[in-house]
Amino acid sequence: MITFITKSFNELSNVELYQLLQLRSEVFVVEQNCPYLDMDDKDQKSYHVLGYDTDKLVACTRLVPVGISYDSEPSIGRVVTHPSVRSLGYGKLLMEYSIQETKRLFNTNVIVIGAQQYLDRFYQNLGFVPEGDMYLEDNIPHMTMRLGK
């Protein structure tokens, strides 16, 4: 069973921050074999969704306010689930929770994401619609997707 909490950057404990950076590094850098600078100065301005299975962090997202990733819309980024829980449906639960939290925190029905292209069907099933052309981010094909109007 997974339990979610949302915290601003300043509310994160040292342990929580370490765990989320470790999980992101494990998946985005090691598993996807993509050396990139994860610390991009957006974390301090964002909220963070942490998903725990018992006491282990197994999923997280970053909820980014308007004007940080996109000029006019908030965003959900750094969506990650631990490989050990991917068959349990936690990714869908994580995104459903993150969508609701983004709408609540930023008083909006519109969310824009930069999604890895291979996950387009996953995000479309959550209501996101592709916009524009594919682009490369850190040598990985991505696409802009929007939820709401």
Write a three-state SS string for the chain: CEEEEEEEHHHCCHHHHHHHHHHHHHHHHHHCCCCCCCCCCCHHHCEEEEEEECCEEEEEEEEECCCCCCCCCCEEEEEEECHHHHHHCHHHHHHHHHHHHHHHHHCCCCEEEEEEHHHHHHHHHCCCEEEEEEEEECCEEEEEEEECC
pLDDT value of position 14: 98
Domain extent, residue 61, equals 2-147
pLDDT value of position 138: 87
pLDDT value of position 37: 86
Task: Provide the residue-wise pLDDT of the chain in tens; the chain has 149 residues.
Answer: 999 999 999 999 999 999 999 999 999 999 988 888 899 999 999 999 999 999 999 999 999 999 999 999 999 999 999 999 999 999 999 999 999 999 999 999 999 999 999 999 999 999 999 999 999 998 899 999 999 98
pLDDT value of position 33: 87
> What's the total number of domains in the chain?
1
**Residue 140, beta-bridge partner list:** 137
pTM of the full structure:
0.96
CATH number at residue 94: 3.40.630.30
